[in-house]
Structures are given as C-alpha cells and as structure tokens.
C-alpha cells in the first residue's frame, strides 16, 4: 500500500491510498485545478480512481466535490447523515452531478478492489464523522483526521496498523493565547473538536512505554507484537527509537537501566 497526503489542514484535506490494483481517495477538500495538479504530482489521473471516501461534511473535507463530480466516474462512499448534510451545505451542482453513491455505515466492512475498508465512528462535531482502516496484502493502514479525543474504541481500531495517519491539530498554549475568537477556541478544545499535539504525543508515548516495559521484561519483538496488537515491524521501530533515545545498545542494557531507574 502507498499513502500520499495530497492536502492536509484547514484549507483542504485529500489523501490518496493505492495498491497495485486499486486507488482510493479519502476526502475531497480542494478545488478542481488543485486536486488534478496534486493527483498528477503523485503520478495519477482522475480516471484511475476506484472510489472516493468522505469522512465528514466539513468544507475542508468535501468542498471539491461539486466540481470534481463532473470528472469522476468512481463511486462516492459516504454515510447517509453525511450525505444529507453535504446536500444541505454544498451548491446544487453537487446533487445534480451525483452519479454513483455507495451508502456506508460506521462499523461496516466493505471491499473496493483488493482493499478491505472498515469505517468506524469517531468523536467530532459533524453529522456522522468516521475514520477508516484499510487492509490489503497483509498490511494495515489506519486513518483518523478531525478527532475530538482518543476514545478506547478508536485506539482498538488503530492497533496493529503498519501505517497510521492521525491528526495532531494544535499546541494547547498557542491556541489559548492565539488570535482566534473564543467560540473557535472552545470548539477546537472540546471533546468533539480536534486533538492537541499533547494528546497525540501522549497516545503515541503510551504505546512506546508499553513496548519499553515488555522489552525490559525480556520479551521478544514478536511476542510483544502479539501481546499488545502491534505489528512486529512497529515494535522494532519503537525498540530502535527507545534504545536511541536512552543511548543504549541492547535489550539487556535496557533491562538494567529500567531496573536502576525504577521504570518497571
């Protein structure tokens, strides 16, 4: 699987996900010219797309649809509440140009070509916001943008992903003193707003610390992977990072250090 972030941020979000046989676009937050240019930069054309998935109706995720639907033949995968919300918000050309729509639901698995897609509900202030996991040829990719906080259930979906695309939206202190109106600050900080850099780093360091404790206890990379549902390659990456950070060379060094510093 290959993942290309074609656009990310409040002015537009588009992600391209590909296998040798299948190409999916997640969200369509940019206008026609930019979308085509960025697809071309990734070596792709609109005709090569097999599906367009929409996470939620906020304009930075679906603004490009009315224009792009004139060019796309691939079906649009979207939940019913998100579709209703988009029809209310987007220009009438959106409804007129709609051709193939596949209605999906959070909790549902479906296949597009050789990619198995799983949609799941996430907390965000939209009609029916969803995240996705994608599986193909034994690899798993997880994608969650626009997320208010990290519920246990979302963590379960992200487990054992070989690649994770996760929003990290703002620095808490910068947001608090920043020039935004109070309502915007409140919205971003709420449980249905956006994840802070701090929340993301806590989530990631939790996993790293779990790996550290198990390595220090003498477990092998594959045993750890099985125990905490991470792929072996992810555990190896964590292991390398932990050893580099702590300036250690072997697992035995790590055990010694962890005992000395009462980490385990």
Residues that bind Zn ion (CB under 5 A): 58, 146
Cβ-based nearer residue to Zn ion, 192 or 197:
192
Which strand (E) or helix (H) includes residue 105?
A: none
Residue facing Zn ion at closest CB distance: 58
CB of 90 to Zn ion, least distance (A): 15
Residue 12, helix vs strand vs coil: coil
CB of 135 to Zn ion, least distance (A): 25
Four-residue CA torsion sign, 248, 254, 258, 259: negative
Please tell me the number of Cα atoms within 13 Å of 252 on its side-chain side: 0
Cβ-based nearer residue to Zn ion, 18 or 146:
146
CB of 213 to Zn ion, least distance (A): 35
| Helices assigned H by DSSP within 101-231 | 152-158, 172-177, 182-189, 197-216, 221-228
Kindly state the DSSP code that residue 47 receives in the 8-state scheme.
G
Cβ-based nearer residue to Zn ion, 143 or 224:
143
CB of 221 to Zn ion, least distance (A): 37
Distances from the Cα of 77 to the Cα of 10, 54, 74, 119, 132, angstroms: 22, 6, 9, 10, 12
Cβ-based nearer residue to Zn ion, 115 or 130:
130
Distances from the Cα of 254 to the Cα of 66, 162, 192, 225, 241, angstroms: 55, 25, 39, 18, 12
Angle at 198 between CA 196 and CA 200, to 5 degrees: 75
CB of 124 to Zn ion, least distance (A): 6
Q: What is the C-alpha separation between 201 and 168, in angstroms, rounded?
A: 9
Q: How far apart are the first and last CA of the chain?
A: 37
CB of 192 to Zn ion, least distance (A): 9
Cβ-based nearer residue to Zn ion, 23 or 58:
58
Cβ-based nearer residue to Zn ion, 121 or 139:
121
Q: Is the distance from CB of 79 to CB of 56 less than 8 angstroms?
A: no
Cβ-based nearer residue to Zn ion, 148 or 225:
148
CB of 260 to Zn ion, least distance (A): 46
């Amino acid at each position: 699987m290959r993942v290309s972030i074609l656009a990310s941020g409040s002015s537009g979000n588009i992600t391209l996900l590909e296998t040798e046989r299948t190409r999916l676009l997640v969200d369509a937050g940019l206008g026609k010219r930019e979308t085509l240019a960025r697809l071309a930069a990734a070596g792709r054309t609109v005709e090569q797309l097999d599906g367009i998935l929409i996470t939620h109706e906020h304009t930075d995720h679906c603004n490009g649809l009315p224009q792009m639907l004139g060019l796309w033949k691939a079906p649009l995968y979207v939940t019913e509440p998100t579709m209703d919300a988009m029809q209310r918000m987007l220009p009438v050309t959106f409804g007129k140009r709609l051709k193939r729509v596949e209605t999906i639901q959070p909790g549902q698995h479906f296949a597009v070509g050789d990619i198995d897609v799983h949609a799941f509900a996430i907390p965000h202030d939209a009609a029916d916001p969803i995240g996705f996991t994608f599986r193909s040829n034994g690899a798993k990719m997880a994608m969650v943008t626009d997320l208010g906080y990290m519920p246990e259930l979302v963590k379960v979906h992200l487990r054992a992903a070989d690649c994770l695309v996760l929003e990290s939206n703002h620095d808490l202190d910068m947001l608090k003193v920043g020039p935004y109106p109070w309502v915007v600050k409140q919205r971003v900080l709420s449980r249905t707003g956006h994840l802070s850099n701090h929340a993301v780093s806590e989530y990631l360091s939790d996993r790293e610390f779990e790996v550290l404790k198990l390595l220090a206890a003498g477990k092998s990379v594959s045993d750890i992977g099985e125990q905490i549902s991470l792929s072996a390659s992810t555990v190896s990456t964590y292991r390398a990072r932990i050893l580099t950070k702590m300036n250690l060379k072997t697992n035995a060094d790590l055990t010694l250090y962890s005992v000395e510093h009462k980490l385990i």
